[in-house]
Amino acid sequence: MNVLVVDDSKLARLTLIKSLHNVFNDLNIGEAENGEVALLLIKQIIPEMVFLDLTMPVMNGYELLEILNKQFPSIQVIIVTADIQKGSKERIDKLGAKGYIQKPITDIKLKEVLTPIIESQAHE
Amino acid sequence: MELAHLKKIFNGFNAGICVLDEQLKVYYWNHWLSHHTGINSEDIVGKLLHHYVDGVNKKVLQRKIKTCLMLKSPTFYPESLKNYLFKTPLHGGTEKNNYMKQSISIMPYADTSKVIIAITDKSVEFDFAQTLEKNIKQIDTLNKTLSDDAKIIDSFVSKLKINKNNKILKVSKCLSQTLSIAKNKLEGTNFDAIFTPLEEYLKKDNFPETLLEIARNDSIVVHESIEKKIYLKVAKHVESGKDEELYLFQDISDYVNLQLQQDTLLRQSRNAAMGEMISMIAHQWRQPLTVLGTILVNMNLKLGLKTLDMKHVEMNIEKMEGVVTHLSQTISDFRNFFIPSKSFEQVSVQVLFDKVLEFSSGFIQEQGIVLSTKGELQIEIKLYMNEFIQVLMTMIQNSVDAFKENEVENPALELAFFEATNSYTFTIRDNAGGIDKENIQRVFDPYFSTKAKNGTGIGLYMAKKIIYENMKGSLAVESKNNETIFSIQIPKQLN
Amino acid sequence: MSEEVALFNDDEIDYFKELLNIGHGHSAAIMAELLDEFVTLSVPEIAFCNKDDFEKIFMDITRNNHYITVQGFWGSVTGETLLVMDNNSMGGLRKIFDEDEVEDDDIVLELMNIMNATLISRLAMELSTEVSFDIPRFQIKENLKIFTKSADKKYQQAIILRTLLQFKDIGVDIEMIVFMHDEAIQWIRNVIKTKINELLEWS
């Protein structure tokens, strides 16, 4: 499976990637440090899943989410954020996110969020 | 066993300890709380706090508890807040508070949904803090007042500080402005570079009496710049234990300059008077010298004609001696007159008038002025004779000059004297043409003269000064129908 | 020793900022839940500064009219946080709290406690340690000089965090200045180094 990790912090990306590899096998993981770069990469190879940090400079998470929802509705977007307000959840749901993970990322949390998504995919 | 032990500890605590949940249900209540609320532990545990205790701010307390649980970290309600979380009456409250000022901490109770609340009585510290705050505010206000006062002083009082080496440490804005020197040019400079004591200063120039006397009586320094001289009166003040001196200055430049001006006027007046005296002497001498000349010419003639005999010579010597005596006497008289007399003399008005007229006889005869006197002239009065004669002379001289200038045909001059209950009045009346309305206001002003030439304008100013200051009298002038009348009034009690 | 401390490398700074971000995000969440309002949290501006900048920081604070609160914390990480807020923001906060008779002081201290406790607690948690907190208190501007002098002696570094809490149409501008003891900074750096090394080794 092709996966794209979008976060302005290199270490945050690394953490997530490490966790992903811990939890799942067989992943092709790409990185982007902001929305613009992400879009460029997506246009080359469309990933099945995108992990998106909300608070980034140069096109933040919400903006990218909106674009992806419109232009690439097949991509499953998981929001990665430290902010877990009720209101935020509603907003990202509306914008078409498949789920969210609260920072800091741990293997357990990742499993929790992704397992249902992957299973449902498997059923399709 | 351990639990009982712990309970003893918590019940011995000098602080309130209780355990609540978000609904304010009570799970634990220690002795301190029982004591201060009057509600025992067994009566409140298991119940809702606000149902049993008065003065609980339910809304805020619940918010605090919620926050604490969410944060998983303590939250606080310090005594500095005005509102009360638990309004607990103080037993014998302090002056300011009747309710306990409490410092409250709300802590999560392990991983439960309950919290531990600790309440400490801070009433005393709070009072203290408030008093401190009030005092600080007062001090701040005082400081501001002092600082404002200091600014005013700095602007209106000339002062400086010097150290024991005479170096200027600090000057006020006022002094800097008075001297027209910037503060930074004054501070750090030696005092003697800026100021000279007046006594020293007077040694340089020929300075008048007035200044010397001022210098003797007060401590005065001078600051000389290119444009002006500034005279400052000094009051010193030594600050004990500080090796510094504080000087306060009073700018007396105006006063000094006035004194100098008056001295100048006096000198000029004296010079003018001297000049007048010389011309009067010359005038007085003209006739006697003519007589001498005639006698000599006669003798020479007789000698030439060889008709000169001893009898003639003796007679002529006698005559000449008489003339010389008269000449000499004239000088003596005038000189005596011009020595300022500080002595009080008693004299009859007649004698006074005689002297005056004697001095002016030359002019009077020359112009054919008709002289008259009026009043009870035998009365004796006490006054500074020479000064007064000078005053009368000035006025007569003015009349004489006016007669000449206006070419009056029948010049008449009247000297009158009148004794009132408390004063003497002298009047000098002439018919020399009067004084214009515009000018009459100004006749006593210094440097004012209507004479076409040689008018110094000082005479009447000085006359007025003498009458008013020395004799404590008054002087007035009136003019009508081509007549001018000067009147001098002097009080009888002149000591 | 302070020079050594100043030299966090780029990766370390990156990691540290991430940790602060996380704590910051959590505090927004708590605020929102507490006030039952949706809060948009801006990306916090994070800057590290050292002793030489302290004076300028304090001057800026005193110049603009601010509410200033202080809260100390201690454990493996020891230091103090100054929370600074201006009058306009205060007005906004009052409206949000919407309690009759709620005191300004109460609101500000609550805000301080929440923002600081969350931030530092989270930081501590990520670094596998715990901290405890003092009662937050107000710092009067007049006494800021005293605070400045003692800060100068105690601390070499500070972290400045500026953030805007946006509640619907009310914005609350907050600046947090976290002072930490050298030992704390050193300790944090060591932990971060270890974690980064783990990550990098793995990759």
Is A112's pLDDT higher than 70?
yes
Confidence of residue B120 (pLDDT cuts 50, 70, 90): very high
pLDDT of residue B425: 93
- Selected residue with higher pLDDT from B34 and B462: B34
The pLDDT of residue C1:
36
Residue B306, token pair as written in the block? 């060889």
pLDDT value of residue C5: 45
Nearest beta carbon to residue C113 from set B72, B75, B80: B75
Bridging pattern class, strands B168-171 and B158-163: antiparallel
B63 and chain C in contact, CB less than 8 A: yes
More confident residue, B343 or B408: B408
Asked if B234 reaches chain C (Cβ–Cβ under 8 Å), the answer is: no
C96-117 pLDDT, tens digit per residue, is 777 777 788 888 888 889 889 9
Q: Which residue of B has its CA nearest to C136?
A: B76
Would the CB atoms of A82 and C22 count as touching at under 8 Å?
yes
B238 falls in which pLDDT band (50, 70, 90)? Answer: confident
Does the pLDDT at position A78 exceed 50? yes
ipTM comes to: 0.86
Name, of B22-36, B442-456, C126-140, the range with top average pLDDT: B22-36
Residue A88's closest chain C neighbor by CA?
A: C38
The confidence score (pLDDT) of residue B457 equals: 57
Name the fold adopted by B157-251: Beta-Lactamase (3.30.450)
What pLDDT does B495 receive?
A: 46
CA distance C169 to B106: 32
Q: Do C25 and A83 touch (CB under 8 A)?
A: yes
B112, with CB counted inside 10 A (0-12, 13-18, 19+), is exposed
Q: Domain spans of chain B?
A: 3-127, 157-251, 262-337, 340-495
What is the average per-residue pLDDT within A24-29?
A: 85
Name the fold adopted by B3-127: Beta-Lactamase (3.30.450)
How far is the CA of B295 from the CAs of B301, B323, B492, in angstroms?
10, 11, 50
* Min Cα separation B38/chain C (Å): 28
Long-range contacts formed by A67-71: CB under 8 A, 24+ apart: A67/A35, A67/A39, A68/A42, A68/A96, A69/A95, A69/A96
H runs (alpha helix) in chain A: 10-23, 35-44, 61-71, 86-94, 107-123
B116, two tokens: 């531990």
Q: Which domains does chain A have, with CATH numbers?
A: 2-122 (3.40.50.2300)
3-state secondary structure of C72: strand
Option in C18, C29, C126 nearest A84 (CB)? C29
Which stretch, A97-101, B381-385, C131-135, has highest mean pLDDT? C131-135
pLDDT at residue C154 above 80? yes
| C143, containing H or E segment | none
Residue B215 and residue B198 in contact, taking contact as beta carbons nearer than 8 Å: yes
Per-residue pLDDT at C36: 77
Has residue B48 got a pLDDT over 90?
yes
* Tokens at B286, concatenated: 């003209």
Other CB atoms closer than 10 Å to residue B225's CB: what's the count? 11
Residue A79 φ then ψ, to 5°:
-85, 135
- Chains that contact C by 3+ CB pairs under 8 Å? A, B
pLDDT in tens, B239-280: 767 788 888 999 988 888 888 888 788 778 778 777 877 877
What's the gap in Å between the CA of C81 and the closest CA on chain A? 21
C64 φ/ψ angles, rounded to the nearest 5 degrees = -85, 145
pTM above 0.80, yes or no: no
Of A29-38, C100-109, C171-180, the one with minimum mean pLDDT is C100-109
B24-41 mean pLDDT: 91
User: What's the CA gap between A1 and A21, in Å, rounded?
Assistant: 12
Chains C and B touch (3+ CB pairs under 8 A): yes
Put simply, the answer to whether A11 touches C14 (Cβ < 8 Å) is yes
Which of B73, B82, B105 faces C121 most closely, judged by CB atoms?
B73
Chain A and chain B touch, per 3+ beta carbon pairs within 8 A: no
Report whether pLDDT(C6) > 60.
no
Q: Average pLDDT of B335-358?
A: 77
Q: Among A61-65, B143-147, B419-423, where is mean pLDDT lowest? A: A61-65
Stretch (H or E) spanning C177: strand C170-180
| Per-residue confidence band for B113, with pLDDT thresholds at 50, 70 and 90 | very high
Query: Residue C34 and residue B70: Cβ atoms within 8 Å?
Result: yes
Q: Tokens 């206006």 label which residue?
A: B406
pLDDT score for B205:
66
Superfamily of domain B340-495: Histidine kinase-like ATPase, C-terminal domain (3.30.565.10)
Q: Are A42 and A4 spatial neighbours (Cβ–Cβ below 8 Å)?
A: yes
Do the bridges between strand A2-6 and strand A28-32 make them parallel or antiparallel, or are there none, so unpaired? parallel
How much of chain B exceeds pLDDT 90, in percent?
27
Question: Is C162 near chain A, with CB under 8 Å?
Answer: no
Contact C38 A104 (CB under 8 A): no
Using a CB cutoff of 8 Å and minimum separation of 24, what contacts does B9-14 make? B14/B121
Count the neighbouring beta carbons within 10 Å of the beta carbon of residue C69. Answer: 23
The pLDDT, as a whole number, for residue B168 is 92
At CB < 8 Å, which residues of chain A contact C?
9-12, 14-15, 17-18, 55-57, 60, 81-88, 103-104
CA A98 centroid distance within chain: 9
**Residue ranges of B 66-95 with Cβ closer than 8 A to chain C:** 66-67, 70-78, 80-83
Measure CB to CB from residue A81 to each of C25, C199, C203 and give the nearest one.
Answer: C25
pLDDT grade for B461, boundaries at 50, 70 and 90: confident
What mean pLDDT value characterizes chain B?
84
- The reply to whether residue A14 touches residue C32, judged by beta carbons under 8 angstroms, is no
For the cut 60, the answer to whether the pLDDT of residue B213 exceeds it is: yes
Interface membership of C137 toward B (CB under 8 Å): yes
Q: Provide the H-helix boundaries in chain C.
A: 2-6, 10-35, 51-63, 87-97, 104-126, 144-154, 182-202
Domains B3-127 and B157-251 share a fold: yes
